[in-house]
Amino acid sequence: MNNRVMSDASIMNTSAWQDLAPLLSVRDVNKYYAPGKGCGPVNFDLYPGEVMGIVGESGSGKSTLLSCLSARQTPDSGQIIYNSEQFGEMDLYAGDESERRVLMRSEWGIVHQHARDGLRMNVSAGANIGERLMAVGQRHYGDIRAKAEEWLEAVEIDANRIDDRPSQFSGGMQQRLQIARNLVTHPRLIFMDEPTGGLDVSVQARLLDLLRNLVSQLGLSVIIVTHDLAVARLLAHRLMVMRRGEVVESGLTDQVLDDPQHPYTQLLVSSILQN
């Protein structure tokens, strides 16, 4: 991993943990399309360097929640306060859309389940990575290309594939490219929606390992939606279990998975095949 790209040990490791203000504060967020379809009320604080997993089966409202949190879906009610580097403390949906969009291409990253939702399939890998740099005003081709190469290597893609289009990449490579495209502007908060969904198991392992390293080396805060408890255990510090739109249990990841309290969590945990 390249030192110029990566910072030192994660924030979780420093003793400054207690002085930090929450990065994201979620208060009574509700979003329902129909009774039982949607999510809420949801409350939590996410601190710098924390990785929070949202687990639950399909239709439990976890993706809806992620859309609300990442400024892509206005909730029916409730507040999401984000502590921005550029704008200070901001109430996401009370503020200007332009600010939300600036966040999306600078301080935030979004990794979609389907790479084609997060990549421009008709331009090269280099341009995909460079786009965010150009979006924040960089205009030096050589620098942009050098950064793109660095990040390709950081996500374990051969730098000489820089001029290939994502459509020529395998599913796992596309997903890694999507991650590089997001990380190039050094975001503080990443939203991930089933990042390993639809990948072969062997490819999944590689991606998870990469994510785990990047998250701890860059001190990223992450909210990751997944229905795969093994993914949650590997990546998340804490978990939120959702069912029919509601949060039924939350806490330290290994505590929720090893000592589940709610009937639904117990069912979820006991449904995993042991190996």
Partner 1 sequence: MTTMIRVSGLQKSFTLHNQGGASFEVLNGAQLEVQQGECVVLHGQSGAGKSTFLKALYANYSVDGGEILLRDGDEMLDLTQALPRRIINLRQHCLGYVSQFLRVIPRISTLDVVMQPLLDLGVDKAICEAKAKDLLSKLNVPERLWHLAPSTFSGGEQQRVNIARGFIVDYPILLLDEPTASLDATNRKVVVELINNAKARGAAIVGIFHDEDVREAVADRLVDIRAI
Partner 2 sequence: MSTATGYNFAYLDEQSKRMIRRAILKAVAIPGYQVPFGGREMPLPHGWGTGGMQVTASVIGEADRLKVIDQGADDTTNAVSIRRFFATTAGVETTESTAAASLIQTRHRIPETPLQADQILIYQVPIPEPLRFIEPRETETRKMHALSEYGAMQVKLYEDVARFGHIATSYDYPVMVNNRYMMDPSPIPKFDNPKMNRMPALQLFGAGFEKRIYAVPPYTEVKSLDFDDYPFEVQRWDENCAICGSDHSFLDEVIIDDAGSKMFVCSDTDYCRSRQTNATESATATEETLS
- Where do contacts with partner 1 occur on this chain (CB under 8 A)? 8-10, 12-15, 17-18, 47, 49-50, 205-206, 208-209, 212, 216, 234, 237-238, 251-255, 258-259, 261-263, 266-267, 270
> Under the criterion CB under 8 A, does residue 134 sit at the interface with partner 2?
yes
User: By rule CB under 8 A, what string of x and - marks binding of each residue 78-97 to partner 2?
Assistant: -------------------x
Q: Which of 175, 167, 229, 223 is nearest to 198 (CA)?
A: 175
Is 210:227 a contact under the CB 8 Å cutoff? Answer: no
Residues that bind partner 2 (rule: CB under 8 A) add up to a total of 25
DSSP letter for 274, please. P
SS3 of residue 170 by DSSP: coil
Min dist CB 59 to partner 1, Å, is 20
| Nearer to partner 1 among residue 1 and residue 123 (C-beta) | 1
Binding residue for partner 2, selected from 91, 141, 146, 200, defined by CB under 8 A: 141
Scanning residues 142 to 201, which ones bind partner 2 (CB under 8 A)?
Answer: 142, 144-145, 162-163
- Give the burial string for 99-134 (b: 16+ CB within 10 Å, else e): bbebbbbbbbbbbbbebeebbeeeebbbbbbbbbbe
**Closest CB to partner 1 among 198 and 263?**
263
Q: Does 38 bind partner 2 (CB under 8 A)?
A: no
Helix (H) or strand (E) segment spanning residue 250: strand 246-252
Query: Considering only CA atoms, which of 52, 6, 182 is closest in space to residue 107?
Result: 182
Q: How near is the Cβ of 243 to partner 2 at its closest, in Å? A: 34
178: which 2 tokens? 């999507």
Q: Is 59 helix (H, G, I), strand (E, B) or coil?
A: coil
Minimum CB distance to partner 2, residue 67 (Å): 17
The residues of the shown chain that bind partner 2, judged by CB under 8 A, are: 97-98, 101, 105, 120, 123-124, 126-127, 130-137, 139-142, 144-145, 162-163
